[in-house]
Structure 1
Amino acid sequence: MAEEKKPHPQPPPSWSALRLDLAGLVLSLLPVYADCACFAAVCPQWRAAARQLQLPPLPLLALPDGTFYSLMYDKPFHFPGCGFSGYENVCGSWLIFSRDDGCFMVNPFSRATVTLPALSSVRLRPPNASAKSKWAEGGSVESANLYITWMRINEADNLRISKLILCSPNLVAALVGIGPISQILMCQPGALSWSVRAYDRIEDFQDMSFYQGKLYAIAKDENLLVVNISQDHSTGDPQVSRIGRVIEGDCPTWYDAVFEDNSSACKKLYLVESRGMLLMVRRTIWCQFPEPGGDGKIMGGQNEFEVFEADFEHSRWVKVSTVGDDQVLFLGRRCSRSMSVSQYGLPGDRIFFLDDDEDNRLDYAYDEEKTSFGVYSMRFRSIGSGDPNISWKRCAEMYLAAWLFPQDR
């Protein structure tokens, strides 16, 4: 009788042979950037799968002291190395730092660095601009104050970048000013100077967004402005050629008025691109004034949110009742984004927001000593707290808390 042949044992399949569809299922369960990075570090095949699938991880919550939080975990962590504390602004996946000889951007995920000019190095247009602008000549001091230009604030000690956008590899736009007023500056990454229209009036710009190849800014009056960009013929550097209004705002007149119960409404505006649309988010903070003659502070209270879509064809804002069943708007004064969250099993049609106050434009105080992020439901028109285990002290050093988006790396 012939000897029965035993089957030759097959080696177990290698993890590197994991099918792409299965790799996608694994990645969809890893909403945290650190977990996605560990997945990609297993082997070249998994790294290639992570690049090909490109599932965007949820944003991190960055704090100025170098602490970071993931929304799926409630324990803080720090990036190895310098720690990235002391940043002054955030742009997508970039942290912006300032020093005497210039500014620079650092991507904590890739460790890439981009240099920017110092705010003291600004190329004026026209080059012979002076603080005594043509609008102020022959007029009174009062009339000059009604038309404040860059030449009136450019040497201020508290000049700062309130918003910065890396529009393209060759274009950086920034809102630079003092307190609530600012001007639009531009430069190329690595350039030695910014460019500014010296005689344009300073505005109370609330936000700025690069949408479908164009730069837009929104002022406190809810006017949407388009910023036309040209090149300097002698240097090739980008510069603002013209700022025009594309949508006239229809802001309620009762903002900043004090009602009989000593309440008043403060407003913050945000521009966010979502599903191919440009949205304006109007955030109302109801404040309570002290009784007449009292020494108390103005206290911030309940938040309300309204969302509007830019209707460019009819030059108007159109109010919408939803941001999408699978969408979450992450709102922040420094950086805002819209993301699909359905692949992570999270409910959509919500707004995650920060207090994002600034020390030099703070209009009210708070009862609570600590703060965190809040969550607004568009569907139920209600506000809930964020993760109770994620919080930080409410103080000037921590005003610059911001969302950081790894998918922009």
Structure 2
Amino acid sequence: MASLSWSDLPPELLGLVLKCLPSLADRVRLRAVCHPWRTNARQQPMPLLTLPDGAFLSIPDGEIIRVPVPDDARCYGSVDNWLLLMQNDGGCSLVNPFSKAIVELPMLSTVWFSDSSNATSGLNPILYKPVVLSPLDSSPDSLVAVLILDDGYCSTVCICQPPIAADVSSSRARWPLQVFDDVAFFNGKLHGLGSSNKLFVFDIEYDLSNQPKITSIKCIIDYGDGLRDLPQSSDCHGQARLYLKHRRTVAFDVFEAGLSSNTSRWRKVNNLGGQVLCVGRHCSKSFPAVEYNGIEGDCIYFMCDYYPNADPLRDSGIYSMRTGMITPLLSGALLSETVAVPQHHGGQWCPTWIFPADSM
């Protein structure tokens, strides 16, 4: 009988091995063994969590991964497998830390101050959240929107056709009674979640020079109807879903925007249809659990990103909508070994999710 090699391991057995290796580093090592293993090990790796010192935390094994980025760069958010980085000179870019690809953006702080109402306010931007119309890996010229919140709790939405800032709209000037807490592209349109749980859609048109402009906004859900606190939005399997996060997280309520009927309203849901939500102020993303190893469907991954200088694992976990239980992102032993957060805010990275591509 001819001897068998490890490269002949049946794909179904390799799949069982992968289910025991949700760690990105371990999956990369396994796929490096031989070409057949690399070809067959195609399920997505687990999301990573950025730490204040610029490292990535692998979940659930707790391994610290360091990927080179510019020394003076600071992370202010993320979208998919791209980081929103700003440098000391104000330069902004979306950077894929794994492929090293870069999409240049306008200087967002300069763009913010270019709005006269912002420039004279005496305030400063403190939070950024980027969203893209199309995945940057396949569409590097995709329309990019960035929500900017300032320390006076007003919002500015910047529309970028990289690397140019095509339009900027400040709530202080155009919608003084409305603050946007979150934005997301859904069905090809930019939506904004406003105060009092109102949902808006932005009308974006292209001018004669082919630059996108925000021409108007329309409120499509005018009341919260049972919502409480300030939810954040995420695109989830073709429907907009919202999550609620409290300072001491004990449970989540999930609502979807019912937009197909004549009367649009929020509807509470009891499951995510097998999807998973990773939620945060700087990045939210939903995905099918079946595409990832080691992830159960109808779960919400969360971390602490609402206090400056906070340890992102201070209030973190995995909430199951099936059981109503919260389990740790890491094992109990690993939680006690969390990387210490620097004492000074300057130079820190904001905690956010990043989703490595399966090609790693």
- Give the TM-score of the pair, scaled to structure 2: 0.79
Q: Distance in 1 between matches of 2:202 and 2:287?
A: 26
Contact 1:102 1:117 in 2 (8 A): yes
> Residue 87 of structure 1: CA displacement?
1.3
Which of 212, 215, 240 is the matching residue for 1:238? Answer: 212
Matched pairs, number: 337
Corresponding residue of 1:323: 272
> Residue 84 of structure 1: CA displacement?
9.1
For 1:234-261, what per-residue CA distance to the aligned partner results, in whole angstroms no more than 9, with x for missing partners? 2x222212211122222569x6xxxxxx
For 1:179-214, what per-residue CA distance to the aligned partner results, in whole angstroms no more than 9, with x for missing partners? 3321211111233x3412465225421211122222
Q: Which has the larger radius of gyration?
A: 1
Corresponding residue of 1:153: 118
> Residue 304 of structure 1: CA displacement?
4.2
Contact 1:93 1:408 in 2 (8 A): no
Contact 2:312 2:351 in 1 (8 A): no
Q: Distance in 2 between matches of 1:97 and 1:280?
A: 26
Which of 302, 318, 322 is the matching residue for 1:379? Answer: 322
Which of 191, 197, 205 is the matching residue for 2:180? Answer: 205
Which residues of 2 match residues 15-26 of structure 1 at below 5 A? 15-16=6-7, 20-26=11-17
Corresponding residue of 2:105: 116
2:222 counterpart of 1:248: yes
Corresponding residue of 2:23: 32
2:253 counterpart of 1:278: no
Corresponding residue of 1:269: 231
> Residue 273 of structure 1: CA displacement?
2.2
Given residue 64 of structure 1, which amino acid in structure 2 is its aligned partner?
P
> Residue 157 of structure 1: CA displacement?
6.1
> CA distance change for structure 1 residues 16 and 301 in 2, over 3 Å: closer, same or farther?
closer
Corresponding residue of 1:41: 32
Task: Give the CA RMSD over aligned residues.
Answer: 3.5
SS, match of residue 29 in structure 2: helix
> CA distance change for structure 1 residues 26 and 189 in 2, over 3 Å: closer, same or farther?
farther
Instruction: Give ranges in structure 2 of 5+ residues lacking alignment.
Output: none
Q: Distance in 1 between matches of 2:19 and 2:50?
A: 23
SS, match of residue 243 in structure 1: strand
Instruction: Give ranges in structure 1 of 5+ residues lacking alignment.
Output: 1-8, 125-129, 131-149, 256-266, 286-299
SS, match of residue 73 in structure 1: coil
Q: Distance in 2 between matches of 1:333 and 1:49?
A: 35
Q: Distance in 2 between matches of 1:27 and 1:370?
A: 26
Contact 2:75 2:349 in 1 (8 A): no
Corresponding residue of 1:90: 78
Corresponding residue of 1:195: 167
> CA distance change for structure 1 residues 14 and 96 in 2, over 3 Å: closer, same or farther?
same
> CA distance change for structure 1 residues 19 and 350 in 2, over 3 Å: closer, same or farther?
closer
2:305 counterpart of 1:356: yes
Which of 317, 333, 339 is the matching residue for 2:281? Answer: 333
> Residue 158 of structure 1: CA displacement?
2.2
Given residue 155 of structure 2, which amino acid in structure 1 is its aligned partner?
S
Corresponding residue of 1:172: 144
Q: Distance in 2 between matches of 1:151 and 1:408?
A: 44
Given residue 333 of structure 1, which amino acid in structure 2 is its aligned partner?
R
2:176 counterpart of 1:228: no
Corresponding residue of 1:139: none
> CA distance change for structure 1 residues 358 and 166 in 2, over 3 Å: closer, same or farther?
farther
> CA distance change for structure 1 residues 20 and 68 in 2, over 3 Å: closer, same or farther?
same
Contact 1:357 1:399 in 2 (8 A): no
> CA distance change for structure 1 residues 118 and 80 in 2, over 3 Å: closer, same or farther?
closer
SS, match of residue 34 in structure 1: helix
> CA distance change for structure 1 residues 282 and 41 in 2, over 3 Å: closer, same or farther?
same
> Residue 36 of structure 1: CA displacement?
3.0
> CA distance change for structure 1 residues 268 and 375 in 2, over 3 Å: closer, same or farther?
farther
Q: Distance in 2 between matches of 1:221 and 1:392?
A: 37
SS, match of residue 215 in structure 1: strand
